[in-house]
Structure formats: C-alpha cells, structure tokens
C-alpha cells in the first residue's frame, strides 16, 4: 500500500497545457471511478485548479501512475507525463501539505488554495477512504497552522492588492467610502472592480472621452464624469485612483489645494498607477494627503514577498514535523492487517493441534478438556504478546514497513489476507 | 503581600506590552488572546492588591500619593483592557500598558501610605470625585495614546516606509475613532469629577489650590479636544496632535506642581 500523487502544475506546464487537463467538479468522481476499475486505485482525490491538476491516490500492488498519465494524456492530446511529476509516500504527503499551505503556489502563501483543497476533498469523498481522508484533513490543519504561526500569507502580493492594502491602512474598511477613478482603460477598470468589491459607496469614473467613462461606469454601477467636471467633486472623495495615459500630470498641486481646502481634516488617499505619473509629486506634501505611485506599490509588494520568503524555513520545519507524524500513523496502519492475519493463522494452528491432541485423550472429563483448551490459549497468547507489541511499536515509530514485510516472510503470510481484500476499503472508511 | 501583588501586576502589564510588540521581532500578528489574558491577569492582580490594601487601612485606597498613583494605574489598565476587548486589536497596549505600569511602579517605590479620609457622606463624596476624575484621566490618556500612535503611523505612511508600524498598527481611521471616543469619555469623567470637587470645596469650605489648578487644567485640555471634535469637526492629525500635546502638558503640570508647588505634600 502506498500514497501516490501524480499531476501537472504551473511549475512545469504552461497555461495552455493546464487548461486542457483541468476538470470540472462534476467530472471528478467519474474519473476516479474509471481509474479504480482500470488501474487498481484504492482511494483517490482529484484536485483541479487553474494552476494544477493532481491526483492523490492510495495504490495496492499495482502502480497507478501509468493509469493517471493515460487519463491526463487523453485530455491533453499528447504525453502528459512529460509536463508532470509523480511523488510517493513521504514525498507525496509533503507535497500535499506544501500545496494546501500555499507554498507550492504561483504567489507564495496565497490563501485561495486552502479552500480549493477542501472543496476537492469534499467533492471526492465517495472515492476517498481512511488514508486520504486523514491525509487531507491533516493537510488543512497544517495549512491553518502555517498561516497562523508564520507570516507566509501576510501582506499584499500584487500591485492592485497593495493599493487596497494602503487604502485600508488609512481608512480601515473601504465600505461606505467614496472613490474616484481617473481614466477608463484596462487598469482603471481592474482598479474600479477592486474598489467596488471592497464596498465603496459611491464611485466616479472620469475620462477625457466621456463615452468611455460612461461605458465603464455603467458596467460597475458608478457615475461618469468628464475631466472638466470631476475636479469640483474631488473634495468629496476619499480615494482617488489615477490611471490615464496623459503624457504629463493631470492632478496638479493647484487643483488638489482647492479640493483639500474643502475637506477639513479628512484624509485623502491618492493611488497613482499611471505611467507616466498622473499626479504632481508635490501633492504628497499636502496635509492629510497620502500619495502613492507605482514604485511605492511595487515596494510594498517586494517587501511583502521577501517577508513571506523569510518565513519559509519556519513553515518547512512545521510541515516536516507533520509529515513524520502522518507517516508514523500510515506505517502503523500497515501493521494492522498483517497482525490480524498473523493471529488468525496462529489461532487456526492452535485449534487444529488441540483437536488432534484431544482425540487421543478421550478419557478426559469435560472439565479436563477445558483446562487443555485454556492452556493452549494461554500459551499462544503469551508467545504472541511480545511480537504483537513490538510490531505495533515498530509500526508506530516509522520502521513498520520493513518489519511487516519480515513478519510476512517469516510466517509465510500471503497477500490475500482478509484485511487486504476488497473489504479493506470499507474497513478504512470505518476508521475515519 | 500587597507590594508583591503590585509587582506581579506591573510584570503582567509589561509582559502584555512585550507580547504586543512581538510583530516587531517577527512578522506575525500579535497574539490578541495572549495580550488580553496578560492584561486581564494584571488588572485582576492589581484589583486584589487594592482590595487587600483597602482592608488593611479600612478605607478606600485613593487618598495619599502612593495609593492614588496605584489606583490611577489600575483605572488606566482596566480602560485599556476594555478598549482592547471591544476592538479585538492590541496595538494600543504598546503605549498604554507601560503608561499604566509607570504610576503603579512609582506608587510601589514611594510606598502605599494612605491619606486622611473623612468619614460618612463626606468620604463617599470625596471617593466619587476621585474615582470619576481618575476615569476621566485614564480616558484622556487613552486618547493621547491613540493620538500618539496616529502621528507615528501617519509619519510612516507619508514618508512611504512600509515597515513593522505599517503592517501592525491599526488603520489611521481606527486610531482616530479611539481618540474621539476616549476624548468624549475623558471629558465626561473629568467634568463630573471637577463639578463634584467644586461642590465639595464649597460645602466643606476646603480648598486645595494646586489640586484645583491641575484638575481645572486637565479639564480645560480635555474639553478643548471634546469641543473641537464634536463642534469644530476636528479629526485625524489635528485631534491627534492636540490630545498628545495637551496630555503631556497635563502630566508635566502635575510633576511641576508636585515638585515645586507651595502645598506639595497635600497634593496628590
């Protein structure tokens, strides 16, 4: 029994490849069911996001990786394994813990993947058993600890999120605030969308071409204005976002001074994401005006990303400890069916030998026969107690697999033990 | 026992400030629950110390310099605990917990020697005046702490430095709101305290001029902020500067009167 992960991610495959092997939620369980039939998969969870498609599996005696590659290749139209990776046992466990914690994400420490892992597990519950259920449950707990005990997910990691982080640091929540966006291009639309999502109460879109401002405003429930009109409303806004393609600053010191004089002490946050800059840098010296340009936003992002990286060793230590804990449990699990089989074989042997002996001792009274039965039971339990305890201990401290194999070899236990049979999966379900 | 309880409370206050400062050493958030637990432990220990002291002198532990300073530290810590519990945000502890530890430490150093306290209704009157004045001063201190933090963070944001203060101080708007609420609470507490003190002076023909000067000075200062905020529309930097400077001036006035005043011994 082994834990395997095979898949394709942003680490080795371009978006065009990842798109082709992405699965919709409704496709997850049928894919796993087919793999169970074709590749001897015992348990499976399929994780499919925009950055990765990975299949976590518990395999029996047959290697499931070729079946997984075959499935992915059929969607891709070419050999999928050329873009992907296969990891087994400890490496597979460690991989999932890294993925769930956002350490394997395109943006280090991103939080979204935690929910995607949880959703994938939930969607595939009918195909997972004791091993994968515990693995995914642990991965989510590990991810939670990584997020709370390290700063791996703290701070904005993109320019737009850095802009929001700065605005939030001034106003707290942006809900109920007023915002004005200068410009109606792609960046302006993205910024306006972010602001609307943050709950700004009233947004104004101002652009040299009124029709473009009107179109953008209509898409996001904002108010459109022409450049010439918008300056009169500037004293009312809390956040001014500038993203025009003007060759020189459109927000001048004079315009801002007039606007600020009508604001009393209310702070104004100006986010200038245009290149060249839309805002005269002298504006930043005005009282209660907080001016940030692209360089400042990039500085925020760089600082945050560096800080996230500096937390990697702490996160790796935490994950390594949790991988060992899970591995101990998993190897301990492998001793259970062998022990059951081993004791079953011994019991069978005892019954046979006692029956043979009693056939030669037919003068014994029922009470004497019971004593002989009891003696055989007692002897067998005493003989097996030491090996049973040691086997359990060895399995628990991570040496289980080798010793389990040794027990199988020494006592001639074949692989068709009851616990390894088809009922094994149901038994594992019961362990959760 | 009383002194030990005081030192334990001081240790808890300093401990809470130290734990609240952990983000400066490592880029993780301050453990809110841990800081609040330490603050609560400090407040409880401090309360036990004051109750033990009150039992030992059979009077309310507010008169006399040592007891008054200890009570001031206690009220400030309790106010801080309340604010942090409501906000579930502990950066104010960085400034206010040491501010609570300071008078408590002085109280322990100079000794908890009780002042003379009149009995009956007169004693209750005096107790109410002192308690309300301390609540007012504690709220004023909270406003000043929030104002100081506002100014520090504003400076960081204006100069585009994105260090620990940027990451772990609360938003400017939150600090401004704490300053606003605390200024109003401070004004209410001090107004009632000063009115009771004035009425007490008239009723019993007892006038402590230095105390009256200091109390009136503190009331004028906190009234200035409250009126400015409510009627003058003060907010943000202006309110932060005014509350920080006036609270520092009120503290300096206290020290000056205490050291150089003609009735230094009688004054709190």
Q: What percent of chain B is helix, strand and coil (3-state, nearest 5)?
A: 80, 0, 20
Helix (H) or strand (E) holding A88: strand A85-88
Element (H, E) at A320: helix A312-360
* Residue A387 confidence (pLDDT): 83
pLDDT of residue A307 exceeding 70? yes
Distance between CA atoms of residues A143 and A103, nearest Å: 9
Rounded average pLDDT over A98-117: 92
- pLDDT classification of A424: cutoffs 50, 70, 90: very low
Q: Report the chain A residue with the minimal C-alpha distance to residue B166.
A: A169
Residue-wise pLDDT tens digits, B127-139? 888 888 888 988 9
Size of interface A-B (CB pairs under 8 A): 57
User: CB contact, 8 Å: A300 with chain B?
Assistant: yes
Q: What pLDDT is recorded for position A409?
A: 82
SS3 B267: coil
Residue A423's pLDDT band, with cuts at 50, 70 and 90, is: very low
Q: Taking Cα atoms as reference points, which of A64, A120, A118, A113 lies closest to residue A88?
A: A64
Confidence of residue A417 (pLDDT cuts 50, 70, 90): very low
Name the band, by pLDDT with cuts 50, 70 and 90, for residue A401: low
- The yes-or-no verdict on residue A418 having pLDDT over 60 is no
Contacts of B167 in chain A (CB under 8 A): 154-155
Chain B residues with beta carbon closer than 8 angstroms to that of A166: 157
B261 C-beta neighbours (distance < 10 Å), count: 17
Local confidence band at A421 (pLDDT 50, 70, 90 cut-offs): very low
The reported pLDDT for the residue numbered A399 is 62
Residues in chain A: 432
Lowest mean pLDDT across A288-297, A327-336, B14-23, B77-86: A327-336
How would DSSP label each residue in A188-211? HHHHHHHHHHTT-SEEEEEESSHH
Segment B195-235, tens digit of pLDDT? 988 888 888 887 777 788 888 889 999 999 999 998 888 88
What is the pTM (predicted TM-score) of this model?
0.73
If one counts every other C-beta atom within 10 angstroms of the C-beta of residue A258, the result is: 14
Residues whose CB falls within 8 Å of the CB of residue A307, separated by 6 or more in sequence, listed in order: A151, A154, A155, B27
Q: Which of residues 268-287 of A touch B (CB under 8 A)?
A: 284, 287
Kind of pairing, strands A85-88 and A52-59? unpaired
Is the per-residue pLDDT at A419 higher than 50?
no
A149 inside 8 A of chain B by CB: yes
C-beta neighbour count of A251 within 10 angstroms? 24
Rounded-to-integer distance, Cα A19 and Cα A51, Å = 9
A163-167 mean pLDDT: 91
Per-residue pLDDT at A422 exceeds 50: no
Q: Helices B2-20 & B65-87, crossing angle to 10 degrees?
A: 40
Identify the pLDDT of residue A100.
Answer: 96
Average pLDDT score over chain A: 87
Please name the residue that has the structure tokens 């007692």.
A378
For residues A250 and A255, give the distance between their C-alpha atoms in angstroms, rounded to a whole number: 9
pLDDT band at B108 (very low <50, low <70, confident <90, very high): confident
Give the number of other CB atoms < 10 A from CB of residue A186. Answer: 9
What is the C-alpha separation between B173 and B175, in angstroms, rounded?
A: 6
What per-residue string of b and e applies to A136-153 under the rule 16 or more CB within 10 Å gives b?
A: bebbbebbeebbeebbbb
Q: Which residues of B touch A146 (CB under 8 A)?
A: none
Q: Which residues of A touch B172 (CB under 8 A)?
A: 169-172, 267
Mutation target for A interface from B24, B28, B165: give the one with most A CBs within 10 A.
Answer: B28
């Amino acid at each position: 029994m082994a834990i395997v992960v095979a898949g394709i991610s942003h680490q080795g495959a371009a978006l065009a490849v990842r798109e082709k092997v992405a699965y919709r939620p409704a496709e997850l369980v049928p894919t796993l069911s087919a793999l169970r039939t074709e590749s001897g998969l015992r348990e499976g969870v399929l994780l499919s996001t925009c950055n990765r498609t990975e299949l976590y599996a518990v395999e029996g005696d047959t290697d499931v990786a070729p079946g997984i590659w075959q499935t992915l290749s059929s969607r891709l139209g070419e050999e999928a394994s050329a873009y992907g990776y296969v990891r087994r046992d400890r490496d597979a466990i460690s991989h999932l813990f890294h993925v769930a914690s956002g350490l394997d994400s395109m943006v280090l420490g991103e939080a979204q993947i935690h929910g995607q892992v949880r959703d994938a597990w939930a969607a595939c519950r009918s195909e997972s058993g004791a091993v994968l259920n515990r693995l995914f449950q642990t991965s989510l707990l590990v991810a939670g600890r990584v997020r709370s005990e390290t700063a791996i997910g703290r701070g904005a990691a993109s320019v737009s999120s850095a802009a929001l982080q700065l605005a939030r640091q001034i106003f707290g929540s942006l809900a109920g605030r007023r915002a004005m966006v200068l410009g109606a291009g792609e960046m302006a639309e993205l910024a306006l969308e972010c602001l609307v999502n943050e709950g700004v109460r009233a947004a104004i879109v101002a652009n040299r071409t009124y029709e473009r401002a009107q179109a953008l405003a209509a898409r996001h429930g904002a108010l459109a204005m022409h450049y010439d009109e918008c300056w009169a409303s500037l004293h009312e806004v809390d956040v001014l976002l500038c993203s025009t393609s003007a060759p020189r600053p459109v927000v001048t010191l004079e315009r801002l001074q007039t606007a600020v004089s009508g604001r009393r002490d209310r702070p104004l946050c100006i986010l200038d994401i245009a290149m060249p800059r839309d805002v005269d840098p002298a504006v930043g010296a005005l009282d209660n005006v907080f001016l940030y340009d692209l360089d400042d936003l990039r500085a925020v992002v760089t600082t945050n990303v560096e800080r996230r990286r500096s937390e990697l060793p702490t996160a790796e230590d935490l994950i390594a400890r949790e991988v060992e804990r899970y591995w101990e449990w998993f190897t301990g699990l492998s001793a259970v069916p062998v022990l059951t089989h081993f004791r079953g074989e011994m019991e069978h042997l005892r019954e046979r030998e006692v029956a043979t002996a009693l056939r030669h001792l037919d003068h014994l009274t029922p009470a004497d026969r019971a004593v002989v039965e009891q003696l055989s039971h007692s002897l067998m339990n005493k003989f097996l107690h030491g090996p049973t305890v040691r086997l359990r201990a060895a399995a628990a401290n991570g040496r289980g697999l080798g010793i389990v194999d040794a027990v199988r070899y020494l006592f001639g236990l074949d692989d068709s033990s009851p616990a390894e049979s088809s009922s094994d999966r149901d038994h594992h379900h019961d362990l959760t | 026992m009383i002194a030990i309880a005081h030192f334990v409370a001081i240790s808890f206050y300093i401990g809470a400030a130290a734990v609240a400062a952990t983000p400066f050493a490592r880029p993780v958030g301050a453990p809110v629950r841990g800081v609040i637990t330490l603050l609560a432990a400090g407040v409880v220990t401090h309360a036990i110390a004051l109750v033990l002291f009150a039992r030992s002198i059979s009077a309310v532990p507010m008169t006399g310099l040592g007891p008054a300073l200890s009570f001031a530290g206690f009220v400030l810590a309790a106010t801080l605990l309340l604010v942090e519990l409501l906000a579930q945000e502990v950066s104010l502890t960085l400034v206010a917990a040491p501010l609570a530890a300071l008078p408590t430490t002085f109280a322990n150093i100079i000794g908890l020697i009780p002042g003379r306290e009149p009995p009956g209704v007169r004693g209750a009157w005096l107790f109410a005046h002192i308690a309300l004045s301390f609540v007012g001063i504690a709220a004023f201190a909270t406003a000043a702490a929030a104002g100081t933090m506002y100014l520090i963070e504003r400076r960081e944001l204006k100069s585009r430095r994105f260090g620990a203060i940027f990451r772990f101080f609360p938003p400017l708007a939150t600090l401004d709101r704490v300053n606003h609420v605390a200024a109003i609470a401070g004004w209410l507490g001090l107004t009632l305290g000063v009115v009771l003190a004035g009425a007490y002076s008239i009723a019993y023909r007892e006038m402590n001029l230095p105390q009256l000067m200091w109390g009136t000075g503190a009331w004028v200062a906190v009234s200035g902020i409250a009126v400015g905020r409510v009627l003058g529309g003060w907010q943000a930097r202006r309110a932060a500067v005014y509350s920080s400077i006036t609270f520092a001036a009120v503290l300096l006035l206290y020290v000056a009167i205490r050291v150089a005043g003609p009735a230094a011994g009688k004054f709190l």
